[in-house]
Amino acid sequence: MILSLYRKQYTDEEIVAMLQSGHTLQENKAINYLIALHEGKLTTYIKKKIPPHRESDPIFWSVMTTFFEQAKKKFVVQKEDAILRFLYKVAENRCKKEQVIRRLDDLEKWKPENIEPDVVRKLGDEALQHFFQTVINLLPTRCQETIRMYYYKGMRHNDIAENLDISAQGSKNTLHRCMNKLKSMIKGGNFDEVLFQ
């Protein structure tokens, strides 16, 4: 195993100190050590949490990059296994984002006649529901109204158009544009504080 190349087990404090040292050799040693230590288990964890058709590698590297960026700036080791806890927390966040994106894709495929009035139940556990609601609240008011009328109330585009004083095609276009904006926000945003309240 790659870890056998390392004669020493590093503590979290030592790893953070190496990353904050400003010396490339020390930083690389810490990075390689962490990747060797966590890649297998963290990738397995990610694969269990994401939809089958999604790749785990981009999420793993996103998690590691997030840690390296945090460690260089302000990461403080307060508890034992602080790095491990941080990595799994970020991995869980990234996996939940993937689940939300998949569910958004599923939502777009639903037809109003197949939608139950309380669509939130179809989104999964409470954390995902909270996340989805929070992100919707970050959208412009017109998007919030359109998404809620279509997905939550099960209204048809003709009814939405009447409520918003636009055409039925305008309702479809608005919904499509809002869902793309929502997906873009979720893919690009950092919602750790939303998911872990």
146-172: per-residue pLDDT in tens?
A: 888 887 777 888 899 999 899 999 999
Number of domains composing the chain: 2
How far apart, in whole angstroms, are the C-alpha atoms of residue 61 and residue 141?
Answer: 35
Task: Quickly state the pLDDT bin for 3 (edges 50, 70, 90).
Answer: very low
- Residue in 124, 119, 121 with CA at minimum distance from that of residue 107: 119
Burial bucket for residue 113 (CB in 10 Å: 0-12, 13-18, 19+)? exposed
Quick count: other Cβ atoms within 10 Å of Cβ 26? Answer: 16
Q: Say which residue, 109 or 10, is predicted with more confidence.
A: 10
pTM (2 decimals)? 0.58
Q: pLDDT, tens digit, for every residue of 17-65?
A: 998 898 999 999 999 999 999 999 999 999 888 877 778 888 899 899 9
User: Is 104 within a domain?
Assistant: no
Q: Which of 33, 60, 95 is the last residue of a domain?
A: 95
User: What is the predicted pLDDT for the residue at 1?
Assistant: 42
User: Is 100 within a domain?
Assistant: no
Are 123 and 162 part of one and the same domain? yes
Contacts of 150 (CB under 8 A, 6+ apart): 112, 157, 160, 171, 175
Quick count: other Cβ atoms within 10 Å of Cβ 117? Answer: 10
Give the structural domain span for 78. Answer: 1-95
Are 47 and 72 part of one and the same domain? yes
Residue 53's identity, in one-letter code, is H
